Every structure is written in structure tokens, then in C-alpha cells.
Structure 1
Amino acid sequence: MTFRVGLLGTGPWAEIAHAPALSGHPGVEFTGVWGRRPEAAADLAARFGTRAYADVDALIADVDAVAIALPPDVQAPLAARAAAAGRHLLLDKPLAATVGEARAVVEAAEASGVASVVFFTVRFDRTTGEWVDEQAAAGGWFTGRADWLGSVFAGGDSPFAASPWRREKGALWDVGPHALSVLLPVFGDVTDVAAVSGSGDTVHVALRHAGGAASTATLSLTAPEPAAGVTVELRGERGVLTLPGLGEDPVEALRNAVDALITAARTGQPHPCDARFALRVTETLASVEEALVKR
């Protein structure tokens, strides 16, 4: 049986990743597209052989699940709405712009018994996802660092440079979830945070974890292009290990996330990257933001 999925959103990420992933997935019926700009929804739907919906509730009514590619403050209420209607959720990071909005998504999903998967790219790329799982299972790590440095706002032609929410929330909320999606499973839950700001939107974060380990993260969307890149380094009983490079493009990684959602929906077993995990990520981001304000 095919899994009917509707896409909410028509921006660059919907065009680059979501629409190709859904239209090319053998187990998915790409039912339709809804967007805040009807003309963009019509264009995206036409290019990927599906239907544009003018009414978001009509699309929600016609599907088994929704995939959402919208800013976090728009995603959260729509996700809660879809969950209340009994629809499974394929969401993006960050889950929401506030802890309260993120918690509302979790509560709606759990009340309806629907499955949720939040697309943390590193966790759904096979190469890096398997690496994270292996290091989390191995244990014995006492410290590590995750540097996520982008040059989105440092010139160039990034399709995300015009994103209002990224300009408002900065690297902490955009790439911070990626760093936490690795650090939390490896080191455990965060019990304390400290943070200082750097150049542009750069943030330097120190985390204490429940097991006693500590980790750091440097996050930026304003790094000079030659300095941009991702490095994750773990140090412990097994020596020093670094995160391998992504092995798949975002479309394939997103199809893996679709597979994970279908499995969770059919088995009733929560995925490790579900909305509850994304809520914990949101809570941690909010704690870091508070620590920055206090300085």
C-alpha cells in the first residue's frame, strides 16, 4: 500500500529536497502541495506531477502524512493541526521557534498516536547516521566538539540567504540542531549550558551532559567561505574519531527519513529522531539563547 504524503511549503528546501524526494519515492503517492504563495504551489506541483491545493486543510484531509518545509514558527502550528487530524509528520529542524510551540506539536502527536520524524540531515544520511549510532553505542567518550560553519550570510549565492527566519534566529537555530543531533545521542542529555557570541551570528557553546562528559559547538552562518565546513571530533577511550563526510545528497537522505516515518507509522515504534527528541533540541537551543542574553 502506498503512503499518501502532502507537502506544505514551496521555498528553496521544498524545491531542492522535499519535492524530488517525495516524487521519486517508490512507496509514496505524492498527493499534493500547499503553500502560502498559491502561484508557487501551482508551479511546484506542475513540475513534479502532482496537484496544488488552495486549502491546507483539504490537503491534510487527503493524505496519510504531511511533509513540512516551512519556517519553524509556521511549521509548528501546522504540524500540531495535522497531528490532531491523525496525520503522520515528516518535519524539518528546528521543530519550532519556541519551546511552547514545540511542546504543542509533541502533545498533539502523542494524543493522536501518530508517528513523527524530524529531518536532521546527518542522522538520515547512511554514512554519517551509522557513524553516530556506532559511537553512541560504543560509549566511553569524555569530550567532543561539533563545528558547523556556514557562509550563507557571507556573500555568495546561497538560496537560503534571503530567509527571514534565518536572519532573525541565526546559526544557533539553523545549524545548532545539526550539532545537537550528533552530540546528544553520543554524550547524553544536556544538563547545563554556557555560551558566548562571536563575529556575525557566530555562537560558541559549551555543554555539560548527564553522564559527566562535556562538549562544545561552534556555530555560524557568517563564516568566510574558505573557513566554512563541518567538523565533529570525539575523544575518549577509543582515541580520537571524526565524523565522515556525508555520503548521500539531501534528496536520498530525505527519502531515508520517509522510510523511517513509514516504518514508525506501521509499527508504532517511535524513531530516535521524533518530535520528542526535537523538543529536547529546542529546549537546549532556548537554554543557550538565554545564556547569551544573560551575558
Structure 2
Amino acid sequence: MTALRVGLLGTGPWARLAHGPALAAHPDVDFAGVWGRRTEAATEVAELFGTRAYGDAGTLIADVDAVAIALPPALQAPLAARAARAGRHLLLDKPLADTVEGAREVVDAVEQAGVRSVVFFTLRFDTASAEWIGRQAAAGGWYTGRADWYGAVFGAGDSPFADSPWRREKGGLWDVGPHALSVLLPVLGDVTAIAAARGPGDTVHLTLRHDSGASSTAVLTLTAPPAGAGVAVEFRGTHGVAAYPDELAGPATDAFARAIDVLAGGEPHGCDARFGLRVTEILAAVEELIAGV
């Protein structure tokens, strides 16, 4: 197989912790270069992973077969659409965009250009987690489910993401909400009704109705006390209770490597740009429900 020539757009913590290491180590990838909004940061990341720093995003896009994007959603969406229109495959992060219109622009560009897209919902590409989700989806018969993400990004004091302006603005709904939806939707079906309420800090409580007839709940926050942080996912139904095992997920770099496999191999996967659009639509609907509350 000819190596997929991939460029990375973004130089923040996630680019350094997940995208860069996985791209540099992948045997089927030629890690062509890095672009960032700050030239010095692009140079630093390029040196870290033995590749080239680009001073212009368009030049990098022109030089590659695919782009991996590790940027805030408001920046990711227009660059992803631009790259797709140039015929480049897309390895994107969640959330796809910070507006429905931005996400739809990406989907339209992908479909018109006929390029491949993968959105990195971490648990859907972690091997053990994806297998667990797949088993619950195949089992069916679920009456209800929950997916609670209690993040302590702004309470732990040592999170590399604590300085993220978009996370401070959009909160847990947009940062960890995509993780919850990426587990609930494949098991219980698409969302047909939404109720939401605010909690302390950035906390949002969701109640969802799914097209399977099941209901679900989710608690989403980045401001949990560190001692109360964690993830809890479970489904209840005719088979009993299925709870997501603690410490099931492996390193993010391994999951990202699997996402690269999917993009490079052209395998169909449920986490594409269209799924990213649907998640964005749900998040935006929740945001509208709680606006001003």
C-alpha cells in the first residue's frame, strides 16, 4: 500500500498528545507536515515529530492526500470544508463544528468531492470500547440508558486543556457531550425528543427520547470536583444491566491509530462527517433549550 500523505492542522495539547504521536508512528502514513496559527508552535511540533512546519494552511493542504485537524471546532469546520473541496480526505476531531451551519458545510463539501471522512469519537475507535458498544447495539431490547461524563478540566489544576478558550466558552455540553452521544446513539437509536436543564458550573443534564422507544439521560460537565470526576455508562433492558467497565479504554494514541487505519483503508465507519453533523444538531438544540436559563 502506498503511504497516505497526511498533514496536521493544529499545534495544541491534543495535537501533541494524540494526533502527532499516532501519525508519526503509523506505518501507512507519511507525516508530511504541520501548520498552526503560531509559526513558532508549528515549528516546535514539527521538530517534535520529525516533520516539516508550514507557514500557510493552503500550501499544506495542497501537498497532502489527507488532513488531520486538531483545532477548535469554529476553526476546524471551514478548514475541513476547504480541504475536502481540494479533494483531501479528512480525519477530524469532535465536535465537528460549533454551529449546525458549519457542520453542514463540511458534509456538503465531503459529499460533493467524494472524499472520505472520519470524526474521532475516542471510544468508537478504541478497540475494547468499540467492541463493548457493538455488543450492546447488537443485543437490543434496551429500555433506558445513561452516559455521564464528569470532567474536572477546570478543577484539577493540571489539565493540559484548562487553558482552552473554546472549552471555557462552550463547556462540557460541547466537549464531552459528543462522547456521550457517540455511545448512546448507536445503541438506542437517533434522538427524537430532548429535555435539558442547567446544573452547577457548566453542568448540563439531558433527557433524551430515541427512535427505538428507549429513553436516556446524560450529565455533562468539565467543572466537577476532581474527587467526583469520572465516566459512567450503562444500559438497562430485557437482558439486565450492562455497565461500561472502568478502565476499559486504552491510550488515546492507539484509538487514533485505529481512526487512521479506517481513513487509510477506506473502510466504512459510523463516525463520519454526517454523524458529526447529527451530533452537532443535537448539541445545538440543547444549547438553544438552556439559553438564558
* TM-score range normalised by the length of the shorter chain: over 0.9
Written as runs of structure 1 = structure 2, the 5 A alignment for 1:102-181 is 102-181=103-182
Q: Which residue of 1 aligns with 2:274?
A: 276
**Structure 1 residue 270: deviation in Å?**
3.5
**Structure 1 residue 138: deviation in Å?**
1.5
**Structure 1 residue 247: deviation in Å?**
3.3
Q: Which amino acid aligns with 1:251?
A: T
Written as runs of structure 1 = structure 2, the 5 A alignment for 1:32-43 is 32-43=33-44
Match of 1:249 among 242, 248, 251: 251
**Structure 1 residue 294: deviation in Å?**
6.8
**Structure 1 residue 55: deviation in Å?**
1.1
**Structure 1 residue 246: deviation in Å?**
3.3
Q: Which amino acid aligns with 1:257?
A: A
- Alpha-carbon contact 1:9-1:70 (below 8 Å) kept: yes
Q: Is 2:230 the counterpart of 1:232? A: no
Question: Partners in 2 of 1:122 and 1:271 — Cα distance?
Answer: 13
Written as runs of structure 1 = structure 2, the 5 A alignment for 1:165-244 is 165-244=166-245
Question: Partners in 2 of 1:47 and 1:170 — Cα distance?
Answer: 30
Written as runs of structure 1 = structure 2, the 5 A alignment for 1:63-82 is 63-82=64-83
Question: Partners in 2 of 1:69 and 1:27 — Cα distance?
Answer: 20
Question: Partners in 2 of 1:130 and 1:270 — Cα distance?
Answer: 16
TM-score (norm 2): 0.98
**Structure 1 residue 258: deviation in Å?**
0.4
Question: Partners in 2 of 1:39 and 1:179 — Cα distance?
Answer: 35
TM-score (norm 1): 0.97
Cα deviations by residue, 1:54-92 (Å, 9 ceiling, x for unpaired): 111111111110000000000000000000000000000
- Alpha-carbon contact 1:116-1:270 (below 8 Å) kept: no
**Structure 1 residue 44: deviation in Å?**
0.7
- Alpha-carbon contact 2:123-2:249 (below 8 Å) kept: no
**Structure 1 residue 155: deviation in Å?**
3.7
Question: Partners in 1 of 2:28 and 2:161 — Cα distance?
Answer: 30
Q: Which amino acid aligns with 1:180?
A: L
Show structure 1 runs of 5+ residues with no match.
none
Q: Which amino acid aligns with 2:74?
A: D
Q: Which residue of 2 aligns with 1:260?
A: 262
Question: Partners in 2 of 1:155 and 1:256 — Cα distance?
Answer: 29
Structure 2 SS opposite 1:151: coil
Question: Partners in 2 of 1:241 and 1:142 — Cα distance?
Answer: 12
Structure 1 SS opposite 2:291: helix
Q: Identity of aligned pairs, percent?
A: 67
Aligned Cα root-mean-square deviation (Å):
1.0
- Alpha-carbon contact 2:67-2:88 (below 8 Å) kept: yes
Q: How many residues align?
A: 291
Show structure 2 runs of 5+ residues with no match.
none
Question: Partners in 2 of 1:211 and 1:248 — Cα distance?
Answer: 30
Cα deviations by residue, 1:172-199 (Å, 9 ceiling, x for unpaired): 0000000000000000000110000101
Structure 2 SS opposite 1:289: helix
